[in-house]
Structure 1
């Protein structure tokens, strides 16, 4: 089956089964961050001077914490952005933090996490020379002497992730460096776990590639999603020790590596958005399925970190209906549903829990890279870069990196009138109310998907 065109806007909307609220996201190539209602109408917008880097959080007090992509970044690969900002509800700038040092090539990456105390944890990159990497145990000759060229800029050395906690006055109050935790032990990062050369700079200068960080205030822990390693790790913030990892035991000399059409013992392939749920007992994560030997397909997973078992998962019957090799997000909603953002197709959808989940809300982003707003996404609207092999397959021009749903009783909305939604574009039709979408959805409701698509390892786990 091939699909060469698809309407934008809301496709499905089951008012009875949805988690009613507002959806926050930043179109990838726009300076605005929008809050849209369930009908796909804009109810609030924050306008900024920067493209998103790459998403935003709405705080309970109504502040918006938004990543920004600064110009002339010191490092151009790994999704670096350079900074974040904080705005109040009315769009007044409260804070701007920029880390973009060309001399040291330290730069803020694209992931951050607001904390309950008002601080923000950010992921950054720092460079170590080839000689420094070899001295710490990297096999000599495995790093190119000339480095890697990306978007016309040369990058030499090995770039490692580190975390900083930034307070509202832009002071660094806590740091954690990957470089301090390299080695062969299970609680360390093996410098010689290296992706195949076909992964291009992921196999050389961009080694582990943290793409998400989340904070657990109950146990004072942070979860980092390691894209290239195919796992998530949990670090105790007080001691700095890696206390848990899941997804790919071969990274720390345990388990079988993938082979030809064999996933080995690896569970996650290019994952994103590892998030604490269930009071820190579980991790919800987007498994992109990037170069999975058994076939590229994405899925959402819920992992019990006490048992290491997958207690819930979701994937589509047709892998092409839900697959994004890069980026993307997941969020567990207050009613137990899961909100999924599939970046490659600019698609957001909500699925119900249980062994036979249903898609109860679905939205396709209408904002394109060239500034247009369209009511129909064509196959020719593919995003292609002649200088970056990373964004030339599997992405459309309507990309969204991450989305968050906030229920209508969220504290930020107290005293706010959000009843007057404005259509994104008058040409975008209300498809969920029209044929054949309406009858097709009703048909799908009567024919739930079979058991293998989603399951619970332990039905008693909620």
Structure 2
């Protein structure tokens, strides 16, 4: 099919993904986590890979879910408890911050700024807010990731300050006394302390790989979550690592908090759990109640897309939207041979994938391939990829490092692509992904995977 035929598809005709989540109170992808005064733990759950089931979950010391809110969020990312007992939430894929009470009633929403336009006083809008905290003087500090900043505002949307200082896709800004802040500058692979004048007065960047959380401890040290290195470290002002908790699997830890007891509370995203560890690295408490949503097939099924499910999607395939940043759509088009094939339309820097999970044998070599065409795909690419998982359903490496074929962008006519991948020794299953990032259209046909 010539590129111009599918370069102007009508997104409103695309199908909505209908697969539900794993149910209220089931932890799928923990982000922010807080230990409450009564000993319970409040967890911010981003939801399933399909983009459903994001919620807040409160569990007691025995692992019982005692409260949850699962009806208001799309990729809930960060939480903050207020002195009034309400909860502030960074509702990331909805590009907003909301505050609600324990009866689940919304008492504040950034959507209401500027007469319902959601604009701050500087004319900007939030873009992928991933964290929200209160400043010492009661203002709201929002880490506005895709705007490469943290912004301090009041509930009317008036901007009182901004931290940027060369930040690139930051996470979890923590305001400090005196008007400064400490921020995980994630894509910059550093943690920075910025003063009230916007000057970087301290930073740590030794060996970090995508840090996503940093907290200044009462002793002056800094607790850092080094996500892609699967560790949490405590660093002195002189840049010495004085404590470290690391694991041998790819954990992609998200957030950590030092508790008054001296233990550390950590969200372990890849193994879908929250853990509490002591100074010796022993796990003294954990919570995991994960239930896998999608089936694991013995072999790749319906790779030629001749069968459709009742939801209109290719049978045996799932549309994965957790990291879509709120954008994208699926639809059916025709390839150059007149066959109906799946297409993904996308318009931002996150990622979307049509995927199927298959069982694999450790050490076995797999051949993966298919046909791809793209149209107007800018600032990104499309590809076929395979991502191996372990028995806890965690990925064995970061998505950027998972085996994949060639990448396609711009306007590309139908092209055959293939590659090989060996299942790691601890792999039990793998996702075969048809992936897109950036703005444009990607189509896929005749996908295969065999040993």
Q: TM-score under structure 1 normalisation?
A: 0.48
Q: Which has the higher contact order (CA 8 A, sep 6+)?
A: 1
More helix per residue = 1
TM-score (norm 2): 0.49
